[in-house]
Structure 1
Amino acid sequence: MEAYWTALVLVSAATHPLRDLTLKGAAHPVSCYVGVSVIWVLLAAGHAWISGTALSLPRETWPFVIVSALGLALYYYGTLSALRRGNLSVYYPIVRSSPVAIVAFSWLVLERDYASLALLGIALVLLGSLMIQKSPGGLLQDRRAFGLAVLAMLGSAAYSLSDAAAMQQVSPAPFLFFTYILVVLMLSGIRAWEDRAAEAPFLGVVRGWALAPGRIVFAGVASYLSYLLILSAFGLGAEAATVSAVRQASIPVSVILAAVVLKEPRFLHRIGWASLIGLGVLSISLS
């Protein structure tokens, strides 16, 4: 069973960077991610209809919906804002380092003990995350972008923990349907706030659709199918920290795609430190 869910997560990890790669450089990134979230709502509704699942949730699942939606909003906004300021291959590995936050939360709040191998893995991830975006003139090339990437990482940890718990109670389609309705509302509010000085701030919410409809639809479908594999792994009983660690296979993939497709520089430097991050999260998963 463990080999099966590991395979699901690895396939998901290989396809996960496609969304951020597709939307990198979009003129209105928050608006684009509102569009992606709308695609998720529609796909979840269709998924529920095809599978014969009712679009309803028990009362005890709603706290997980709220936590996941908040985590996703932080993740999307932090990721978009960081990528707007810097390269995909620099900040994506930091965003995807959520196993560190999951392990730290479990240790501090849930009072779970971790082996020395796990602590070594945390140290390797932190070192790799810092060094992958080290500039010749200083440790942090862009402190604000780094902070936004960390914010996105914390949001990713929150929704991963929440989703793992929710999948023990309900099936993916209704959970994603209601979660992403909240995400659409949150991201729309953020986009309107960014355009609050404009005469019609809510026009910014739909502006991304007009400029890049094909990219939004592709990113939405690809990311939905990718995350269904993660929820399937959670449904099989996989633990959040372990799943998030295995998902870090997406880090070298993102660095390679950024170099090949986006022509981002310093490939060898970044793939080296990305590999160190992968080694760190592997240590966490094996501990």
Structure 2
Amino acid sequence: MELLWILLVLLSAVTHPLRDLALKGVAHPVSCYTGVCLSWVVFAAAHMALAGQPPALPAGLWPLVLASALGLTIYYYGTLSALRRGNLSAYYPIVRSSPLAIAAFSWLALDRSYTGAALLGMGLIIWAGLMIQKGKGRLLDDPRAFAMAAMAMLGSAAYSISDAAAMQGTASAPFLFWTYILVTLAMGALRAWEDRGQSAPLLGVVRGWAQHPWRILFAGLSSYLSYLLILRVFQLGAEAAAVSAVRQVSIPVSVILAALVLKEPRGLSRLGWAVLIAAGIAMIALR
């Protein structure tokens, strides 16, 4: 069973960066990410129909739906804001460092202790996260982009905790269906807020979808299938921290793809720091 979930997580990890790779550089990023969220609603509805699953959720799961939707909104908006200002290879590894936030929450709120190796891992993540985006003579190449990536990391931690708990009480498709209805509405509201003052702010959402329909569809389908694998692993009973450790394969994969496809600079240097971030996360998650 352990080998099965490890293989599923590895498959998810290597496909996860494809969404952000596909949407990097689009003219209307909030609109495109809103389109991806809407596609998840459609995919989840089709998934429920094919599997014969009812859309109803137990009442006790709705707080987890709300928590997941809030975390996802923060994650999406923080990610696209960071990538709008900087390179995928510099900020995606920071975004994916959510186990650091999970560990900090567990220490502060749950009174959990950590081994020396886990503390070393936390230090590695912080150090490598600063160095991977460091400019010449500056600790932070772009403070706002770094803050947005860190915000996305916190959102990722929130939805990961909520989703792992939810999968012990429901199927994946109904949970994703309702969660992504809320996320789509929230992202649409953020787009309208960005376009405030214009006579027809929702035209920006439609314009973003019309300009990149195939990129949005590819990003939505690849990310939906990728995350279904993670939810399936949670249903199999895999421990969330161990899953997070294996998922960090996506960090060096994202740096390699950014160098090969987007021709971003400092590929080799950033790959080294990305590997250190992944190693630090593994040290925390496998504590």
Q: TM-score range by the shorter chain?
A: over 0.9
Contact preservation (8 Å) 1:160, 1:244: no
**Unmatched 5+ residue regions in structure 2?**
none
Aligned to 2:190: 190
Amino acid at match of 2:271: I
Contact preservation (8 Å) 1:82, 1:145: yes
Amino acid at match of 2:149: A
Contact preservation (8 Å) 1:242, 1:284: no
Contact preservation (8 Å) 2:23, 2:215: yes
Which whole-Å CA distance do the structure 2 matches of 1:238 and 1:100 have between them?
Answer: 19
Question: What displacement does 1:7 show?
Answer: 1.5
Which whole-Å CA distance do the structure 1 matches of 2:146 and 2:245 have between them?
Answer: 20
Q: Does 1:51 align with 2:47?
A: no
Q: Does 1:226 align with 2:226?
A: yes
Aligned to 2:263: 263
Helix, strand or coil at the partner of 1:25: coil
Contact preservation (8 Å) 1:69, 1:183: yes
Aligned to 1:247: 247
Contact preservation (8 Å) 1:246, 1:281: no
Contact preservation (8 Å) 2:245, 2:286: no
Aligned to 1:158: 158
Q: Deviations over 1:226-271 (max 9, x none)?
A: 0000101111122323222221110100000000000000111101
Matches within 5 A, 1:167-206: 167-206=167-206
Aligned to 1:76: 76
Q: Does 1:136 align with 2:136?
A: yes
Helix, strand or coil at the partner of 1:200: coil
Aligned to 1:280: 280
Contact preservation (8 Å) 1:246, 1:285: no
Alignment length (residue pairs): 287
Amino acid at match of 1:208: G
CA RMSD between the two structures: 0.9
Q: Does 1:33 align with 2:33?
A: yes
Aligned to 1:65: 65
Question: What displacement does 1:113 show?
Answer: 2.0
Aligned to 1:18: 18
Q: Deviations over 1:175-211 (max 9, x none)?
A: 0000000000000000000001111111112221110
Which whole-Å CA distance do the structure 2 matches of 1:7 and 1:118 have between them?
Answer: 24
**Unmatched 5+ residue regions in structure 1?**
none
Amino acid at match of 2:214: G
Amino acid at match of 1:150: A
Amino acid at match of 2:122: I
Poorly superposed stretches of 4+, deviation over 4 Å: none
Q: Deviations over 1:40-93 (max 9, x none)?
A: 000001111111110110100000000000000000000000000000000000
Which whole-Å CA distance do the structure 1 matches of 2:188 and 2:176 have between them?
Answer: 18
Alignment identity in percent? 67
Helix, strand or coil at the partner of 2:264: coil
Q: Deviations over 1:83-132 (max 9, x none)?
A: 00000000000000001001111121122222221111111111111110
Contact preservation (8 Å) 1:195, 1:204: yes
Aligned to 2:99: 99
Which whole-Å CA distance do the structure 2 matches of 1:207 and 1:245 have between them?
Answer: 38
Contact preservation (8 Å) 2:6, 2:246: yes
